[in-house]
Structure 1
Amino acid sequence: MSLSVGDRAPEFNLPDQDKQVVSLADLRGTPVLLVFYPFAFSGICTGELCQLRDELTNYTDAGVTVLAISTDPVFSLKAFKAQENLDFTLLSDFWPHGAVAQAYGVFNEKAGMALRGTFLVDADGAIAFAEVNGPGDAREQSGWKDAVAALAA
């Protein structure tokens, strides 16, 4: 079961592409956009994250920290970030495999991957926006932008 608007965002500590641990608790006081995606280097995921890269100022100008999370190992994330010139942090939910995706209700256990879940966490740690798309369904990112604008207003 996925999280809904108003729910408390589950805390996590995950390594980024450089093996540095990122904690959601350490970001309290700042809105955070969590973008779960199935796999680095896959077609739809690459398109979505490159669009996010190209439109990143929509989020950063509003004071939002963007974190993209997959079940890929850190080494894949480092190569993916470099290849696609991504300007935001990629987090590895590799081990325990998919534990954070499970906590957010977006883990596909059969495939061992995260679904396309998007969550905007407000500065107090509550979910302000939640959307989950299936494995083959690309996200329409206008909903995220509207949620960020509403949070910033």
Structure 2
Amino acid sequence: MTEVQESSALSVVPEVGLPAPDFELSNQYGEPIRLSDFRGRNVVVVFYPFAFSGICTGELCEIRDNIGSFEDSDATVLAVSVDSKFALRAYAEKEGYGFDLLADFWPHGAVARKYGVFDAQSGMALRGTFIIDTEGIVRYVVVNPRGQARDLSEYRAALSALSRT
């Protein structure tokens, strides 16, 4: 396991090659979404701090604008924050997101904790991305420090490598 140190909160991040922790969260419409239901497809789980915040919006809009890259790799995007489903629905509608935004609202940050990306001091998820293959195995992990956006080209490279295996 990889350790992440952020704001005095030491967490364990699932390592590449290990099974991804399963979870079930409500999407922006209140529908239950379970990670294990996506077996047979690649999944990109994108944890982000908060809806309507600057860097988060930029990252998710970049995903929205390049969703074809994910679809071409038979990948589903699941974006996770500690916001409520109501805030996520307003956010998705405002920004035109066509992928699921999942509410890790209660118990607060429980899934982010499972993935080692919950900052208990600030009460938010860190910027962590996990690419999970068709068998439920973690194949790519990145956790960026607060204030640093992720690089979409890294997602593309990781998804491309999956399609070659």
Fold shared, TM-score > 0.5 on shorter chain: yes
SS of equivalent residue, structure 2 residue 13: coil
Aligned to 2:49: 38
**d(CA) in 1 for partners of 2:15 and 2:66?**
25
* 1:78-125 Cα distance to aligned partner (Å, 9 max, x none): 000000001111000001100000000000001111000000000111
**d(CA) in 2 for partners of 1:8 and 1:68?**
19
Greater strand percent: which structure?
A: 2
Consecutive unaligned residues of structure 2, counting only runs of 5 or more, are 1-11
Aligned counterpart for 2:30 among listed residues 9, 19, 26: 19
Consecutive unaligned residues of structure 1, counting only runs of 5 or more, are none
Matched length: 153
Return structure 1 stretches of 4+ with deviation > 3 angstroms.
none
Aligned to 1:128: 139
The normalised TM-score by structure 2 is: 0.91
* 1:22-67 Cα distance to aligned partner (Å, 9 max, x none): 0011111111000000000000000000001001100012110110
Aligned to 2:125: 114
Aligned-pair CA distance for 1:142:
1.1
Aligned to 1:73: 84
Aligned counterpart for 2:155 among listed residues 130, 144, 147: 144
The normalised TM-score by structure 1 is: 0.98
- RMSD of equivalent CA atoms: 0.7
Percent identical: 50
Aligned counterpart for 1:51 among listed residues 55, 62, 70: 62
Aligned to 2:104: 93
Aligned-pair CA distance for 1:129:
0.4
Q: Comparing 14-23 with 54-63, which one deviates more in the overlay? A: 54-63
